[in-house]
Amino acid sequence: GWWEGGGGGVGRGCCKDIRSLLRRRPTGPERKNYLVSATLSHRVLELAYEHMNDTQKVEVEPEKVTADLVQQTMFHVSNDEKLPLLVGLMRAHEPFRTLVFINTKRGAEEVEAALKANGLDAATLSGDVPQNKRERLLEDFKEGKLPVLVATDVAARGLHIPAVSHVINFDLPQDPEDYVHRIGRTARAGAKGDAISLCCETWGYSLPEIEAYIGHKIEAGGDITDFLPDDYIKPAPIPRKPRG
């Protein structure tokens, strides 16, 4: 048998139901049980020892919130300078596979347009990209044919892409957990990686929560004027689609 439950859930009323089920199961060596729980409170352990013989307790140590091999840096920047700074950072680091995370689809389109206008090949991955196009973009990115993938948070979880050199948070996420998921796309399988975040006027309010969640301050990346390009080309405005 196998039963699963959070420690709080079991303690709040599931014990009676589990006991009823176990009484209907075979006894002794004819039965094997596994109890899986996110927490092991007194109530959960009491239930386990009551119905299990030769009990073995297995615990998995929690992972660190962020990986040691991710170099995290932060640049404080005005909204008007964000796109030029992104272009300058891309040129300075010459990353091979870069994920640029944006909070909105509209923002992703603007970033893609700015990168292309300044000679950097990029494509956008968002929630409404058709599956066949999504698969093609991911394959091109994995093979190095597409150096920059601009993504909303719908693409932050579940992506298994080897050798991502840089993750750039063009927008700081509103949820601290999303910051961890984003930067976790790099520094995989023992490799090193860089996570660069831009703290702007619009999304900077989430920085204190992010730093509290990861347990440390994010190191300052330096003077942004060192990275602002003199030849930045402002892309043409993206027309807004009519509503309805």
- Rounded Cα gap, residues 205 and 202, in angstroms: 8
**How many Cβ atoms are within 10 Å of 84's Cβ, its own excluded?**
21
- CB within 8 Å of 182: residues ≥ 6 apart: 99, 101, 153, 156, 167, 169, 173, 195
Residue 221: partners with Cβ closer than 8 Å, 6 or more residues away? 73, 74, 75, 196
Q: Output the pLDDT for position 4.
A: 45
What stretch of H or E contains 193?
strand 193-199
| Bridge partners of residue 100, in order along the sequence | 150, 168
**Model pLDDT for residues 41-91, shown as the tens digit of each residue:** 666 777 777 777 777 777 654 455 556 678 999 999 999 999 999 999 999
pLDDT at 13 over 70: no
Q: Which two tokens stand for residue 197?
A: 């975040």
* pLDDT level of residue 18 (50, 70, 90 thresholds): confident
**Structure tokens of 148?**
């920059």
Which pTM was predicted? 0.71
pLDDT tens, position by position, 186-207: 866 556 789 999 999 999 999 9
Encoding tokens for residue 161?
């892409």
Alpha helix stretches (DSSP H) within the chain: 7-9, 15-23, 42-51, 82-93, 105-117, 131-143, 176-183, 207-214
Task: Give 3-state DSSP helix, strand, coil % of the chain, rounded to 5.
Answer: 40, 15, 45
Spacing of C-alpha 195 from chain mean position: 11
Residue 120 has pLDDT above 60, yes or no: yes
Instruction: Report how far residue 52's alpha carbon sits from residue 46's, in angstroms, rounded to the nearest whole number.
Output: 10
pLDDT of residue 123: 93
